[in-house]
Each structure stands twice: as C-alpha cells, then as structure tokens.
Amino acid sequence: MADPRPILFFDSGVGGLSVLAPTRALLPQAALVYAADSAGFPYGTRSEGEIAARVPALLGRLAERYRPRLIVIACNTASTIALAHVRAALDVPIVGTVPAIKIAAERSRSRVIGVLGTRATVRQPYVDDLAARFAGDCTVLRHGSADLVELAEQRLRDRSIDPARFAGVLAGLFDQPGGDRIDVIVNACTHFPLVADDLARAAPRPVLFVDGGPGIARRVAQLTNGQGWPDVLPPGIAVFTGAADPALAPAFARHGLTVIETL
C-alpha cells in the first residue's frame, strides 16, 4: 500500500546531507524531509544541557508537522548527548549517528587511529566506550574542531577556502604524540565527509577517512524494509529553524530537496 510518510533527517546545519545522500541512493522511492537547526547552529560549542533540552523539543515539533515514519539524528553531537532523551520523548523509530571507531579499528594497520569531531563529541563518555569496545588494541587520538564545521558549511555554499585551514585542523591530530602513525581518521561529525577531499589533500601523508553514513543508510533500509512508499515521489523538503540561506538552495536541490520551509 502507498504510504506517504517521509524519513526525517535532523542536524544542526548541512552536515546531515552526508547521511541523507547514501540513504537516498539505497531508497530512491522514499519521501525525505531534512531539518537544519540553523537557529541553534553550531552544536559543538553549546553545553550538553542545552542540546539535551533543545533537540527533543525541536524533534517533537517536527514530528507533529511532518509525521515521519522514522527519524535520523544525522548529527554526532546531538546523538551522543540527546539520543536517549529523544527516544524517551517520541513514539517514532529513531536512528542515531555515532563515530565509526569500529570501522576504523578494523581497517587500521598501524593501530593508531584519529577521531576528528566537534569538541562536544570527542569528549563524550560514549566515545570512550566505543574506543574500549572496538579499538582496545589501538591508540585513539582525538581532536575537536569547531572551525571544520564552519568550513564544511562554507564549502556547500561553493566558497573558496584556503587549503591551509584544513591542514591546520589536521595538525590537531598529527601533531599529538603518536600522531605520525595515524593511518585511519574517523570523521566523527557529519559535516566532515562533505570536505573529505579537502582533508585528504591537506593531510601530510595518505590516510584513510571513514564515516558512518553508509552504515546508517543500511540501518534505515533495514528498519523500513517491506513498508510502502508514495505512489508519486513528492519533492524533498528542507526545513530551517531560522532564516534559510538562499546560497544553500543549489546544494539542497542536488540532494532532491527543492522545497524550502521554516519551522
């Protein structure tokens, strides 16, 4: 049977597009809504208390408006802090985003991996737990960068960026003791895969960058397996909690999000 309910993706900004894209590739028939908390951006510099209160409240309003079949919190910071709060508040399946430390540990030969995220994400006990469970025989170096979030937002606006800024972010990992042995870096913020090519070019030597987007897409496909989809695919919706930036419209349109709304 036809089912018009969309999948809702939520992030503080544009980073969740790195999760939406592989999901759209797996489920081209799915109706999609992308919500950017532009009024609260960036999350990486906010307190944990603010995020734990803000995210469930916003997702409650979004769920009431769009009636999604499933919500993807396509933001590592929001997931590591607010995922349990959202699941307690909403009667909708929720998929969170966590750093791909397991994948990094499986692929590392040097047994030294880097975790590149926001400051709020890299300090979370959840990351400690992932490292202990899946990378116990690895040295896990972490670096939190608010600047890289801003760079990803600028890149999606097609703005030119000095490559030295990406090199400066990576130095936060490579300049740590043992950093010269890093061979895999976890992009532990959904913004960062959007500038993965820039990061690869700026790295002082070849390293592998990994993220959780493809795995999240597979999880969404699994949870929606057997469900009906719209007979006619509606235009994708991008909704902002603050003023929408017209400069982002082409980037959202490339992901099938051609309708712009505000919450």
Work out the average pLDDT over 226-248: 92
Work out the average pLDDT over 127-153: 94
Q: Which residues contact 21 (CB under 8 A, 6 or more apart)?
A: 213, 255
| Residues assigned a catalytic role | 75, 189
Element (H, E) at 197: helix 196-202
Q: Does pTM top 0.85 for this prediction?
A: yes
Helices and strands, counts by H and E, the chain: 11, 10
Place of tokens 């990994």: 210
What mean pLDDT value characterizes the chain? 94
Confidence of residue 186 (pLDDT cuts 50, 70, 90): very high
Does the N-terminal peptide bond of residue 28 adopt cis geometry, omega within 30 degrees of 0? no
